[in-house]
A and B are shown apart, each in its own frame.
Chain A
């Protein structure tokens, strides 16, 4: 248990659906991250938030829409996804954005797009 929870753990959706992934951290951290983990590819950083403000969008398509209402919660809203978006989506948090702080990861949401 790392102090970062994600729901749901598994999600199957069609290309026309709208769904949301949720992440919550209980560590009092200020920074939160979304990563995409696809088979046989390195983890890809998607978004970074620091004190609820988005600080990085790593050229992610607009069909992925993040939301960070407070420092403890992070959402990833999904709409009109493609089958190639099927992957494990990992949330992480760290104390701060500066420096080589340890990032703590949640268990991930396994997303399948039909």
Chain B
């Protein structure tokens, strides 16, 4: 079945460090890919998305590129801040049909001053 796999956390970084959170997927078709972020005590917010191969989603300094050949959608940021501390979820859904999101398990990021 369709699934999303994320690197296990927690990821602990110092402020201004480079961030990579790995995400790979298994899908029978060509899904759209998403990164959602959940700050402490809040619900999920869409961070960025990409709807087709080689698309790059970006927002708030975060980027992720849809790589069909490696079935990946890794999240990157060049310089993290303490305020980026949150749980990050990778997810997929299929454009042509039912809007059903399939999530990875989430990766917790902790950024220290």
A108 CB–B CB distance under 8 Å: yes
**Contact A100 B89, beta carbon cutoff 8 Å:** no
Given the complex, which residues of A lie within 8 Å of B104, measured CB to CB? 42
B99 in complex: contacting residue of A40, A42, A96, A104, CB < 8 Å: A96
Q: How many residues of B contact A (CB 8 A)?
A: 28
Q: How far is the CB of B93 from chain A (nearest CB, A)?
A: 5
Given the complex, which residues of B lie within 8 Å of A108, measured CB to CB? 42-43
A86 CB–B CB distance under 8 Å: no
**Contact B105 A42, beta carbon cutoff 8 Å:** yes
Q: How far is the CB of A27 from chain B (nearest CB, A)?
A: 13
B26 CB–A CB distance under 8 Å: no
Given the complex, which residues of A lie within 8 Å of B102, measured CB to CB? 42
Chain A interface bracket (under 10, 10 to 19, 20 to 34, 35 or more) = 20 to 34
**Contact A100 B95, beta carbon cutoff 8 Å:** yes
B100 in complex: contacting residue of A4, A6, A40, A48, CB < 8 Å: A48
| With A40-B105, A42-B104, A100-B51 as contacts: A31 and B43 at CB distance below 8 Å | no
Q: List 15 A-B contacts (CB under 8 A).
A: A2-B45, A6-B43, A42-B102, A42-B105, A96-B99, A97-B98, A97-B99, A99-B96, A99-B99, A100-B32, A100-B94, A105-B36, A105-B43, A106-B43, A108-B43
